[in-house]
Chains A and B, each alone.
Chain A
Amino acid sequence: MIHLAWLVPALPLLGMILNIFVGRRLGRKGVGLLASAAVGSAFLVSLGLFISLGGLPHGVHQAEQTLFTWIAAGSFHVTVSLLIDPLSVLMSLVVSGVGFLIHVYSIGYMEHDKDYRRFFVYLNLFVAAMLILVLANNFLLLYVGWELVGLCSYLLIGFWYEKKSAADAGKKAFLTTRIGDVGFALGILLIFVTFGTLDYSAVFSQAPKLLQVGGTTATMITLLLFVGAIGKSAQIPLYVWLPDAMEGPTPVSALIHAATMVTAGVFMVTRTHVLFELAPFSQSVVAIIGTLTAFYAATIALTQMDIKRVLAYSTISQLGYMFLAVGVAAYSAGIFHLMTHAFFKALLFMGAGSVMHALDGETDMRRMGGLIRKMPLTGWTFVVAWLAISGVPPFSGFFSKDEILAAAYHAGHPILWLIGLITAGLTSFYIGRQVFLTFFGRSRVAPDLEPHVHESPSVMTWPLLALALLAAVAGFVGLPSANGSLIQSFLSPVVGGEGGGSFDLLLALLSTGVGLTGIFVAWLMYSAGVVSPTRMAARVRPLYNLLWNKYYVDELYGFLFIRPFRRTAAFLAEIFDPWVIDGAVNAVALVTDGASRVIRVWESGYVRNYALSLLAGAVIMLAYFVLR
């Protein structure tokens, strides 16, 4: 079975290629089915890999498959090879599984789009790229997947390219993440120069010998790699592309926020944890940036009125939790939360998409309300996701988030733990606010739309139900037991056994309490009407405006980077290049021309004069070489 691993990324690629070349003949139905089947079969192969991992000889937890030599020049040698181990297989399952549900959902969601085929071509490529990323056995192949998901986000966020905002958002996503990618690429170069190879196994086995703990090289490598993660996983200061990414069709948001792309950074830190453990400083940076991002993004989410924008900031915030986890070496907790988050965030986005589907594309929560009566499946599955993200037991988010907070606390970071705890309260509040505004209370839907509000077709609700089930019960793989949870022991061959935090009843009660408080406050403000949100906002107007305008960061970046860049470019192109550099060239020409007017006297047109000067020249040259 292991030797079929290459099929996991190859099947979605095949789906893409088939849809490019014969998709036109398949018809709309065929295109969507083919694309979904391609990802579905990749999931089945991943499942096969999962089973065959258990069948490996005792003490062996990984296998490699080398497909071919990719680049060999001088001492640089990189192969296209796959690493099949618990981490990569778990990631493949999540990516292809959630990806498959999103594909199925898209069949319904994109039904009336004129570029149906192009959509599924991109979607397949996206999943394939992410699968390459997680299955790579070396840094350069990881980088291939890493860049290709960036490309796919560009194409999919800007999918409705006729809208300027969509095209802008796609470009922003690609360029912002590429800034991070340059750091990542430099990290890879430094790894190559240090180790002479880019294969994981060789690098990780040599790392303890070649790198000093806390040494400059280890710190530089890990910080550079983390710069890449900051871009891809939307952390401070490169998170700005993700909120705009909602310009893409909603299934794309689900894919980007849940199964692919943004999780890449968390996965990468986990994959390279051997290096990070040699650089305590970098670990602290990861944990601190993660925690700050978690809190910061949650505060922005408090005031937003766009149903997808709230979720976008929520993703940034939840990713912050994951970085907190991997920063305190709680890798299995980080991956665990990555998994549960993939379920409930995909569910939230697809639920939001279902609402937009019913309301003719409306995204403003002020024009929603009471929708659960007309869309019960969408509404109740959304509630499940809300409970999961709020950390209400026994829903999945409870286990994973609690494990992260406990790990931070026990790793000796009480401040990070406290910020994380407060953020948990903010989270359950803003998603609660969203649930009440969208699904409960009286309807504020535009009167002309009101009669048309309907539950989405079953091709869209089935994926919602499947995800709701996962969001509800997936936490149990993290159920604490004597030898660590299921997921801990499954991942322990990769990340070591002591990575996860131990269960702490007091901390668990505390974080549950905070989560419930957030829900309660949301209920007070947006459902019971005890506290008026508008009056609250009025009382803290400057703070509210700051949050509403997302701390003005986009404007700040525009002022600090984009405007100076454009001005420099314009100066160089319009003044420096034509007048200074080309001016110098033309000046030489002018001087030559002037000189030639003088020299023209000799250009008499008489052959005898030319013969004379030729002879003179020859004599001078001869004399030089004879006499020297």
Chain B
Amino acid sequence: MNQLSFPFLSLIIFLPLAGALFVTLLPAGQTIRRVALGFALLTFILSLGLYFGFDSTTADMQFVDRAHWFAPLGIQYYVGLDGISLLLVLLTTLLSAISILSTWTAITDRVKEFMISMLLLETALLGVFSAVDLFAFYVFWEASLIPMYFIIGIWGGPRRIYATIKFVLYTMAGSALMLIAILALVFAYHQTYNLWTFDLLKLQTLHIAFRTQVWMFLAFALAFAIKVPLFPFHTWLPDAHVEAPTAGSVILAGVLLKMGTYGFVRFCLPLFPDAAKQAVPLMATLAIVGIIYGALVAFAQRDVKSLVAYSSVSHLGFVMLGVFALNPEGLSGGILQMVNHGLSTGALFLMVGMIYERRHTRQIADFGGLWRQLPLFASFFLVIMLSSIGLPGLNGFVGEFLVLVGAFRVNPWYAVLAATGVVLGAVYMLWMFQRMMFGPLDKVPNQQLQDLNRREVAILVPIVILILLIGIYPQPFLGPMQVSIGHLLAGM
């Protein structure tokens, strides 16, 4: 057990916050970017310690830090990691550093405030993935909204205000219900044991009547489903993505959406096991509809960024299908696919941002023949696209195939229908790739474009390395989650 004498996990969670405070003290100038990046990188490097210090043989929470917060109601500051949350914490620290580096030339206005928002967001997200206390979870969950609200609303595109208000209101509507369910759960626990607690590990031992479970499950599920987003709660996503600045999109797709899928795994399954089992047909159906629907709508997009946004709806459908297979293969695939989607879609948004910075358009029709002019850009794009469509040998395949194995074991038809998504995914991606990269380089503005610079290559290389590593040798990623998944399923 990783019972360190000093609060290592908390240090990582709050280091970006410290960075944000530090940045406020700095005068305007280039140093702000470097300091922000420095804090994010340091957070990432420290978080690697979590991976290497992680004990894969236990399902217990590790790196636990806890302290009383509001004792009369049993509210604690209580954080810890298990195999389910470990990878998501690492994904957050990696993508935060990468997306800060991606803003070097894209964000020139109010750099200080932007960096503060990004660092605050990182702390909130790390808190979400490590919180064991439901109250702390809820605080981090809501806290993540505020910086994202500003990131889209201040540094976003022309319709940023509409997009950001829609994003915040939609999410808050869901989480309001979740808060009520959390309170109801805590009251129910208090009624049984005469003890106030928000401790997830205690609450999940509570036996709840089936009907009550269903209501609570639905309240949690709505909050998470909006965040995922699960069909039909997805329409805030394209708006938010199209308007958000690149770094915002990367974090939004790469990490923020996983709050929803993670929420299902962390809370809905262990707290309301009977309701979750009962919900399998509903959730699987919505997931599959999302897979196919997202792919079809993505195909018809004219803006490459909204194409990638809809592809997220499709990919997150795979994650949800895996989670609600409720077997080890499906859950492993689902959790790995959360990471994979963060990498490949995050990278796609990065690359869309890179081309937007050069060309100031995202209309697919404005491109064509880019391979001739930007061979390096096109090659990176190719690899990332292949990862996104689940080519064997790259990361997406491992997750997708495990999800299909899990789904097939529940109901072969789930796998059959989801597998059509594999073809559709290739259709819209290849279609887009052809229209942007292939054909003659006939549009004059495209003939002056510069290929990737060193900073941009440095941003993409770590992602591509991970894409290959997870594709060829995924055990270091699948291994640590196995015991936790087994424990979770055994408890249901």
Contact = CB atoms under 8 A, between A and B. Distances in A.
Given A158-B438, A162-B438, A569 B296 contact: yes
Nearest to A141: B392
B232 A185 contact: no
A interface bracket (residues with beta carbon within 8 Å of B): 35 or more
Given A175-B427, A185-B404, A581-B232, A167 B422 contact: no
B402 A71 contact: yes
A573 interface: yes
Interface string A113-144: 00000000000000000000000000010011
A151 interface: yes
B interface bracket (residues with beta carbon within 8 Å of A): 35 or more
B449 interface: no
Nearest to B440: A162
A606 interface: no
B281 interface: no
Interface stretch (B25-33, B455-463, B471-479): B471-479
Interface string B211-230: 00000000000000000000
B56 interface: no
Given A75-B329, A147-B397, A181-B422, 4 more contacts: A73-B329, A167-B434, A192-B408, A572-B293
Interface stretch (B59-67, B70-78, B134-142, B413-421): B413-421
B430 A185 contact: no
A602 interface: no
B409 interface: yes
Contacts of A154: 430
B300 interface: yes
Nearest to B169: A589
Interface in A563-600: 565-566, 568-570, 572-574, 577-578, 581-582, 584-585, 589
B296 A573 contact: yes
Contacts of A182: 419-420, 422-423
A73 B333 contact: yes
Most buried by B among A73, A74, A151, A162: A73
A523 to B, nearest CB: 44
A624 to B, nearest CB: 10
B328 interface: yes
Interface string B289-328: 0000100110111000000000000000000000000011
The 7 nearest A-B residue pairs measured at CB: A74-B328, A573-B300, A73-B332, A582-B235, A167-B438, A161-B438, A144-B392
Interface in B381-425: 386, 391-393, 397-398, 401-402, 404-406, 408-409, 412, 415-416, 419-420, 422-423
Nearest to B478: A73
B392 A143 contact: yes
B415 A70 contact: no
Given A74-B332, A76-B329, A570 B300 contact: yes
Given A175-B423, A569-B296, A581-B232, A71 B474 contact: yes
Contacts of A584: 232
A69 B187 CA distance: 48
B7 to A, nearest CB: 32
B371 A161 contact: yes
Nearest to B442: A162
B437 A161 contact: yes
Interface of A: 68-76, 140, 143-144, 147-148, 151, 154, 158, 161-162, 164, 167-168, 171, 174-175, 178-179, 181-182, 185-186, 189-190, 192-193, 565-566, 568-570, 572-574, 577-578, 581-582, 584-585, 589, 625
Interface string B369-380: 101100000000
B430 A175 contact: yes
A193 B408 CA distance: 8
Interface in B325-378: 327-329, 332-333, 369, 371-372
30 contacts: A70-B472, A70-B473, A71-B398, A72-B478, A73-B402, A74-B406, A74-B482, A76-B405, A158-B434, A162-B369, A162-B440, A167-B439, A171-B430, A171-B434, A175-B426, A178-B422, A182-B423, A189-B408, A565-B427, A568-B296, A569-B297, A569-B299, A572-B300, A573-B296, A574-B300, A581-B232, A582-B235, A584-B232, A585-B236, A625-B187
B329 to A, nearest CB: 4
Contact of B393 (A148, A573, A574): A148
Contacts of A174: 426, 430
Nearest to A571: B300
A573 B459 CA distance: 32
A144 B333 CA distance: 17
A459 to B, nearest CB: 27
Contacts of A189: 404-405, 408, 412, 415
Given A71-B402, A161-B439, A189-B408, A585 B296 contact: no
A472 to B, nearest CB: 39
Nearest to B333: A73
Contacts of B235: 577-578, 581-582, 585
Interface of B: 166, 169-170, 187, 232, 234-236, 293, 296-297, 299-301, 327-329, 332-333, 369, 371-372, 386, 391-393, 397-398, 401-402, 404-406, 408-409, 412, 415-416, 419-420, 422-423, 426-427, 430-431, 434, 437-441, 472-475, 478-479, 482, 485
Contacts of B328: 73-76
Nearest to B296: A569
The A interface, classified by DSSP as helix, strand, loop or mixed, is helix
Contacts of B406: 74
B473 A148 contact: no
B475 A573 contact: no
A186 B416 CA distance: 7
Contacts of B232: 581, 584
A417 B398 CA distance: 44
B416 A69 contact: no
A565 B299 CA distance: 10
A565 B424 CA distance: 10
Contact of B419 (A70, A151, A186): A186
A209 B485 CA distance: 33
A144 B393 contact: yes
B473 A68 contact: yes
A7 to B, nearest CB: 17
Nearest to A166: B438
B212 to A, nearest CB: 13
Contacts of B297: 569, 572-573, 577
A74 B329 contact: yes
A175 B402 CA distance: 22
A189 B369 CA distance: 39
Contacts of B371: 161
A494 to B, nearest CB: 25
Contacts of A148: 391-393
B391 A147 contact: yes
Contacts of A72: 475, 478-479, 482
A217 to B, nearest CB: 11
Contacts of A565: 299, 427
A565 B300 CA distance: 10
B300 A178 contact: no
A71 B478 contact: yes
A162 B434 CA distance: 10
Contacts of A175: 423, 426-427, 430
Contacts of B431: 171
Contacts of A578: 235
Contacts of A190: 408, 412
A118 to B, nearest CB: 8
Given A76-B402, A572-B297, A581-B232, A151 B391 contact: yes
Given A73-B333, A73-B402, A182-B419, A147 B392 contact: yes
A409 B299 CA distance: 49
A537 to B, nearest CB: 36
B426 A74 contact: no
Contacts of B327: 74
Contacts of A582: 235
A181 B393 CA distance: 15
